[in-house]
A = this chain, B = another copy of it.
């Protein structure tokens, strides 16, 4: 198993971890875990996998030290083992996006002119927040919002957007965020808001990246 050459052994370790990331299902599980810790059943149903299959993927991730598990009563709760993983996934996204032409096409065709929806960076958002110049909306579902969100954000899941438009200011910049750079929700929210004449923009990345950057977060106080 272990090669005689330590350098090769190191590459072998790196490759093993990369292979652990080399499955769309596992990446999806990691993204779900980047938001909050979850049980196997929850992960399976969110990702559309069977329980057994999800469990096996999770064990594989655990074998390579990417996630940790602990038991709570009947269920086993998984979580990311290392916040650095968010960085790794981000880098993977960036490399993929920058280099795979097909990916760009997929993105563009789905998100119609992405450039028009120019995103706001974390830094920029922080500046605007300090000046009170911005209304921040979180387009993720309630449970995820409750588990943690950006300070001062309003939870406005996509489905509720249309009937809660009156809660939003017409004169102020609105910034929407969700799970990360590839999360669809905030794109759609911004598109919808702009169509209605609001001044809206996306946050460049999402809640997991925000938290990973060590910026402050809030939690809702409902069990």
| Interface, chain A (partner B; CB < 8 A) | 2-19, 21-28, 31, 63-66, 81-82, 84-85, 87-89, 91-96, 98-103, 106-107, 110, 140-141, 157-159, 182-185, 188
Q: Tell whether, in the assembled complex, residue A6 and residue B63 are in contact, meaning their CB atoms are under 8 Å apart.
A: no
Which residues of chain B are near A158, meaning CB under 8 Å?
2, 4, 6
Q: Tell whether, in the assembled complex, residue B102 and residue A65 are in contact, meaning their CB atoms are under 8 Å apart.
A: yes
Q: Tell whether, in the assembled complex, residue B88 and residue A91 are in contact, meaning their CB atoms are under 8 Å apart.
A: yes
Identify the 8 closest CB pairs spanning chains A and B, nearest first: A65-B99, A4-B159, A19-B22, A11-B24, A18-B21, A88-B91, A18-B22, A15-B24
Known contacts: A8-B24, A64-B100. The answer to whether A184 contacts B95 by CB under 8 A is no
Q: How far is the CB of A82 from chain B (nearest CB, A)?
A: 6
Q: How far is the CB of A93 from chain B (nearest CB, A)?
A: 6
Known contacts: A15-B24, A17-B92, A18-B92. The answer to whether A5 contacts B159 by CB under 8 A is yes
A103 to B31, CA, bound (A): 22
Known contacts: A7-B184, A158-B4. The answer to whether A13 contacts B65 by CB under 8 A is no
Q: Tell whether, in the assembled complex, residue A98 and residue B18 are in contact, meaning their CB atoms are under 8 Å apart.
A: no
Closest B residue to A28 using CB positions: B11
A153 to B111, CA, bound (A): 51
Q: How far is the CB of A213 from chain B (nearest CB, A)?
A: 14
Q: Tell whether, in the assembled complex, residue A95 and residue B110 are in contact, meaning their CB atoms are under 8 Å apart.
A: no
Q: Tell whether, in the assembled complex, residue B140 and residue A188 are in contact, meaning their CB atoms are under 8 Å apart.
A: no
Q: Tell whether, in the assembled complex, residue A6 and residue B140 are in contact, meaning their CB atoms are under 8 Å apart.
A: yes
Q: How far is the CB of A106 from chain B (nearest CB, A)?
A: 5
Known contacts: A10-B182, A182-B7. The answer to whether A103 contacts B15 by CB under 8 A is no
